[in-house]
Amino acid sequence: MWVYEKKLEYPVKIKKADPKLAKIIITQYGGPDGELGAAIRYLSQRFTMVTPQAKAILNDIGTEVPVLHMETKNFCSCHSICSMENPGIDIGPIVLWERKKCPVVGNKLRPASMRLPYKRLFAHCPPIVAALLTSS
Q: What is the largest CA-CA distance in the chain?
A: 54
Interface stretch with another protein, choices 21-29, 56-64, 91-99, 118-126 (CB under 8 A): 56-64
Phi, psi dihedrals of residue 82, rounded to the nearest 5°: -70, -20
Q: How far is the CB of 12 from another protein (least distance, A)?
A: 6
Q: How far is the CB of 62 from another protein (least distance, A)?
A: 12
End-to-end C-alpha distance for the chain, whole angstroms: 32
Q: How far is the CB of 14 from another protein (least distance, A)?
A: 8
Q: What count of other Cβ atoms lies within 10 Å of the Cβ of residue 25?
A: 17
Q: Radius of gyration over alpha carbons of the chain, in Å?
A: 17
Residue with smaller CB distance to another protein, 104 or 129: 104
Helix (H) or strand (E) holding 136: none
Residue with smaller CB distance to another protein, 26 or 132: 26
Name the site residues for another protein (rule: CB under 8 A): 3-14, 52-53, 56-57, 60-61, 64, 71, 74-75, 78-79, 103-105
